[in-house]
């Protein structure tokens, strides 16, 4: 991608009202645009990051047998009235369809997936079933203020698992828990597994929390055994596992997994004929992961005062070529026989792309070197390569996360990037 063509360009000023750090950096760097509180447009850079996070999640969900589906955002209110959530869920967006039918915008999908599975299973042979989707969710959050951390429209992965027994469900729950750890490891985002309450439909749940002072959640971590629990479960300052003392920390919940009680299954008569011929209620679990919130959390954790520092796994591009002295001709200068900086930069850009390296090339001729460097720092792509008249046959390489620059020839660079 050539930066001269990329829409939009970086902003010099922090947009007014952007109170959180992820919103400030992501907006200034041109990843997202806020439309209203908690609602964003994802521009090319931002969409690429979401896509990379989604792909990592997808890979791990497929690895534990998940079947990817897409359920509707627009849902009939009937099922929500059945479960009682039409009135009990205060973040529910309600609207009217043709002939005044009550509709809602999906904040989660139990009310769709339970009847769907109930309609399509008969016996124990039809189980287990694991369905997941990566889809936009709507919640009318009263405090949609922290940029991507709390949206009113946001991207979530939600998986629902259905089993013949609690034992089978618990085995799968354990697999899902490990898959979550693998996802965050691949992304490069440290998470703390935290015990939490399950609310109305589960007795316990497991949260995946990212430690950062900007987090909205409060968790307690044992200084001795590292056991972590959510605030709602803490009744003394002692660790329930080892009796050690607990330390209070701020964190962002990026994922949450629940073994479900039978309430939903009973409402929707989600049952099957067991091997012994008995009609039996299905045991289920649900597994949520905030894709867009994870993107926000990455920015909250990985940045410096100049901008974002993306982990390689989710960066919008791997390499940012900063082309200096780009005014020169694209062809070899007839008089000197010298290769212009422009020609050299174009050549490297093409070669890297041919090697399947994702490159953003700042080819602009109308901004200063200083501005280009500032933009590269703000955008936060892992490797910066400077090509100018001065660099000769070598390329100047700097990692966004490090201070030192190195000089490599092209072949060495490609080898380094491929490793």
Please, what is the minimum distance in Å from the beta carbon of residue 395 to ligand ATP? 40
Please, what is the minimum distance in Å from the beta carbon of residue 20 to ligand ATP? 12
Residues that bind ligand ATP (CB under 6 A): 108, 139, 141, 150-151, 154, 156, 253-256, 288-290, 292-293
What is the C-alpha separation between 358 and 39, in angstroms, rounded?
28
Please, what is the minimum distance in Å from the beta carbon of residue 36 to ligand ATP? 14
Round to the nearest angstrom and report the end-to-end CA distance of the chain: 22
Q: Where are the alpha helices (DSSP H) in 188-307?
A: 263-267, 291-301
Residue with the two structure tokens 């039409």: 86
Position with the least CB separation from Mg ion = 256
Please, what is the minimum distance in Å from the beta carbon of residue 235 to Mg ion? 19
- CB nearer to ligand ATP: give 296 or 316: 296
What is the DSSP code (8-state) at residue 244? P
75 binds, among Mg ion, ligand ATP, none (CB under 5 to 8 A by kind): none
297 binds, among ligand ATP, Mg ion, none (CB under 5 to 8 A by kind): none
What is the C-alpha separation between 307 and 373, in angstroms, rounded?
11
What is the C-alpha separation between 367 and 127, in angstroms, rounded?
61
- CB nearer to Mg ion: give 121 or 176: 176
Q: Is 200 helix (H, G, I), strand (E, B) or coil?
A: coil
Show the beta-strand stretches assigned E in 92-152: 93-96, 102-105, 129-138
What is the DSSP code (8-state) at residue 241? T
- CB nearer to ligand ATP: give 25 or 154: 154
- CB nearer to ligand ATP: give 128 or 255: 255
- CB nearer to Mg ion: give 197 or 328: 197
Please, what is the minimum distance in Å from the beta carbon of residue 171 to ligand ATP? 21
- CB nearer to Mg ion: give 131 or 252: 252
Task: Give Dmax (Cα) for the chain.
Answer: 91
- CB nearer to ligand ATP: give 123 or 200: 200
Please, what is the minimum distance in Å from the beta carbon of residue 39 to ligand ATP? 11
List of residues 6+ apart from 30 with CB closer than 8 A: 6, 7, 8, 9, 10, 11, 43, 45, 379
Residues that bind Mg ion (CB under 5 A): 256
141 binds, among ligand ATP, Mg ion, none (CB under 5 to 8 A by kind): ligand ATP
Please, what is the minimum distance in Å from the beta carbon of residue 67 to Mg ion? 25
What is the C-alpha separation between 196 and 42, in angstroms, rounded?
32
156 binds, among ligand ATP, Mg ion, none (CB under 5 to 8 A by kind): ligand ATP
Position with the least CB separation from ligand ATP = 290
Cβ atoms of residues 20 and 214 within 8 Å: yes
């Amino acid at each position: 991608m050539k930066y001269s063509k990329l829409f939009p360009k970086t902003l010099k000023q922090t947009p007014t009202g952007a109170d959180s750090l992820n919103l400030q950096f992501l907006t200034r760097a041109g990843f997202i645009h806020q439309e209203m509180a908690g609602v964003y447009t994802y521009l090319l850079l931002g969409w690429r990051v979401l896509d990379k996070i989604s792909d990592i999640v997808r890979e791990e969900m497929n690895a534990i047998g998940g079947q990817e589906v897409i359920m509707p955002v627009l849902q009939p209110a009937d099922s929500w009235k059945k479960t009682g959530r039409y009135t009990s869920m205060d973040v529910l967006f309600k609207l009217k369809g043709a002939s005044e039918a009550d509709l809602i915008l999906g904040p989660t999908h139990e009310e769709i997936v339970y009847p769907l599975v109930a309609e399509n299973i008969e016996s124990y042979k039809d189980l287990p079933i694991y369905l997941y989707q990566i889809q936009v969710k709507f919640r009318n959050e009263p405090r949609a203020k922290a940029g991507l951390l709390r949206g009113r429209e946001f991207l979530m992965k939600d998986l629902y698992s259905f089993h013949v027994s609690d034992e089978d469900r618990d085995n799968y729950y354990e697999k899902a828990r490990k898959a979550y750890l693998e996802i965050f490891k691949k992304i490069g985002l440290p998470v703390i597994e935290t015990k939490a309450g399950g609310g109305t439909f589960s007795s316990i749940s497991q949260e995946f929390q990212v430690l950062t002072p900007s987090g909205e959640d409060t968790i307690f971590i044992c200084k001795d055994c590292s056991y972590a629990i959510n605030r709602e479960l803490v009744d003394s300052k002692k660790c329930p596992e080892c009796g050690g003392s607990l330390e209070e920390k701020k964190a962002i919940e990026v994922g949450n997994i629940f073994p479900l009680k039978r309430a939903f299954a009973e409402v929707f008569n989600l049952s099957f004929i067991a091997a012994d011929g008995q009609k039996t209620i299905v045991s289920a679990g649900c597994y949520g992961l905030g894709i867009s919130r994870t993107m926000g959390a990455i920015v909250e954790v990985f940045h410096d005062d100049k901008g974002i520092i993306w982990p390689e796994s989710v960066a919008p591009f791997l390499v940012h070529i900063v082309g200096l002295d780009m005014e020169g001709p694209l062809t070899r200068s007839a008089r000197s026989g010298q290769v212009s900086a422009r020609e050299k930069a174009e050549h490297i850009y093409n070669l890297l792309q041919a090697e399947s390296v994702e490159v953003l090339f700042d080819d602009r001729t109308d901004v200063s070197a200083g501005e280009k460097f500032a933009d590269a720092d703000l955008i936060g792509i892992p490797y910066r390569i400077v090509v100018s008249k001065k660099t000769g046959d070598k390329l100047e390489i700097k990692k966004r996360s490090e201070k030192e620059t190195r000089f490599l020839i092209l072949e060495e660079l490609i080898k380094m990037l491929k490793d």
